[in-house]
């Protein structure tokens, strides 16, 4: 059972009542973003982007991204006739110029059953 199937199952059976698909997608995207960072030794709670993880996940390190404040703040349901069911906005990356970052997030969301278009904005 993938993530979306689990989510739908739990909602249908009353296990999840205080969340929405938008909140779940936003949370998953922010977990995927956090996976690109490593802790900074001797600085409790601080992290920095990990060039090895960026490379491993196929993200182009020349894309204009503000790694210091990268996050998803918005997920919206799209119209019935849209190719995607959801659209997510990742803040602090240049609109239309961060294709590999969007691909990384979309690929993982799709593998978990979520049909999401990911876009970036400042």
pLDDT digits (tens, 9 = 90+) for 82-97: 899 999 999 999 999 9
Task: List the one residue out of 68, 72, 69 whose CA is nearest residue 102.
Answer: 72
Quick check: is 8 in a domain?
no
Burial per residue of 15-44, b for 16 or more beta-carbon CB atoms within 10 angstroms, e otherwise: ebeeeebeebbbebbeebbeebbeeeeeee
* CA gap 66, 83 in Å, rounded: 29
Its pTM stands at 0.92
Quick check: is 82 in a domain?
yes
The number of folded domains in the chain is 1
Quick check: is 101 in a domain?
yes
- pLDDT tens digits, 38-82: 999 888 889 999 999 999 999 999 999 999 999 999 999 998 888
Domain that holds residue 110: 21-121
Quick check: is 2 in a domain?
no
Quick check: is 12 in a domain?
no
């Amino acid at each position: 059972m993938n993530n979306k199937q689990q989510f739908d199952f739990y909602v249908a059976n009353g296990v999840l009542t205080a969340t929405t698909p938008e909140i779940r997608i936003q949370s998953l995207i922010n977990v995927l973003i956090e996976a690109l960072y490593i802790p900074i030794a001797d600085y409790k709670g601080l992290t920095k982007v990990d060039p090895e993880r960026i490379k491993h996940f196929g993200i182009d390190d020349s894309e204009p991204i503000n790694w210091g404040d990268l996050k998803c703040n918005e997920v919206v349901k799209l119209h019935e006739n849209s190719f995607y069911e959801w659209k997510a906005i990742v803040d602090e990356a240049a609109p239309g110029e961060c294709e590999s970052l969007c691909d990384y997030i979309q690929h993982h969301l799709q593998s978990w059953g979520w049909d999401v278009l990911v876009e970036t904005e400042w």
